[in-house]
Amino acid sequence: MNNRDPLMPPEYFVKRLEYIDESIASRLAKLRDQPEVYKKPQAFLRANFRDRYEQVFMGYSLGEDVRELARRFPAVVDAYEAHIRGPGMTPHVFSDLDRYLVSLWLVSFALIFKVDDALWNRLLACIGNEGQDALYESLVATLTPNRVQAKGLSHPKIFEPLFKAISAKGESRDAFLKRYLKDWYGAFSNTYWHEAHKGPEGGGFFGYWAVEVAGVAAAFNMDDRAFRDMPYYPKDLVG
C-alpha cells in the first residue's frame, strides 16, 4: 500500500485502525453486559460514530483503494443511527462547524462510493437539516431532487468558494476550488481535529483531507487537473 499522508508512517494508521476496532468492541460489550453502570450511553455511541468515520479517513491515509474504503462505509451509517437513536437525540445542527463539516464529508463519501439507495436514505435521515444549507443541498440533490431548497450557507465565510465552484465554469471554477483548498487547513483552526498530529502519539490524527472537494468534483463531473495535486485534495477518491 502507498501511504498517502506524509505526517505519519503507515504503522501509525495500521495500529490506530486496530485500536479503534478493539475500542468499539469494548464499548459495545460494556453497554450490553453492564447497561446499568453507564448513565450516559450516548457518550459511548457518539465515540463509536466518530471512530467509524475517522477509520475511513485513516484507510485513505494508509493507502487503501476506494473499494476497500467503500466497504468501511456501512459501519459508519450503522454507528450514526445508533448514536442518534438515543433518548432526546436530534440531528446535528449545521450551525456547529464540526458537525456540519462531518455531514459534508459523509455525503461526499456516499456519492464517491456510489452507495445503494437504502444506505443513502438512511444517511440522509441521520443527518436531517433538509433545506438548511445550499452547499449540502446541492450535493444531495444530485441523487435526491425535489428537496426543500436552502436560501444560503451555514458558514459562508469558509464555504462560499466551494459553493460558487458548482455553478462556475472553466478557469473561474478552478480558481474558486484552488482558493478553497489553499485556505482549507487554516479555515478549520477551531475544529476538533485541527493540529491533531501534534498530540501525544499522533493525538488521534486521521489525516487532513478535503473530502468535500472530492465530493463536489465527483458529483458534478469536474475536471480536477488544475487543482489535483494541491495539498489536502484526496485525488485518489476521484480517480
Cell numbers found for residue 44? 459511548
Nearest to 166 by CA among 133, 119, 126, 120: 133
Span 33-48, average pLDDT: 84
Span 149-181, pLDDT tens digits: 999 999 999 999 999 999 999 999 999 999 999
Q: Which of 114, 158, 111 is nearest to 138 (CA)?
A: 111
Alpha-carbon span 161 to 158, nearest angstrom:
8
Instruction: Compute, in degrees rounded to 10, the torsion defined by CA atoms 173, 67, 19, 105.
Output: 30
Q: Where are the alpha helices (DSSP H) in the chain?
A: 10-33, 41-62, 66-84, 97-113, 117-127, 134-141, 156-167, 170-187, 211-219, 235-238
Question: What's residue 40's pLDDT?
Answer: 79
Per-residue pLDDT, 1: 65
Q: pLDDT by residue (tens digit) across 91-137?
A: 889 999 999 999 999 999 999 999 999 999 999 999 999 999 999 99
User: What CATH superfamily is the domain 10-238?
Assistant: PA2201 C-terminal domain-like (1.10.3920.10)
Q: What pLDDT sits at residue 94?
A: 97
Burial of residue 111, with CB atoms counted within 10 A of its CB: 0-12 exposed, 13-18 middle, 19 or more buried: buried
> CB of 5 within 8 A of CB of 202?
no
Q: What value does the mean pLDDT take over residues 182-207?
A: 92
The domain ranges of the chain are: 10-238
Residues 6+ apart with CB under 8 A from 29: none
pLDDT higher than threshold 80 for residue 139: yes
**Stated pTM of the model:** 0.95
Task: Render the burial of 56-95: b for 16+ CB within 10 Å, e for the rest.
Answer: bbbbbbbebebeebbebbbbbbebbebbbeeeeeeebebe
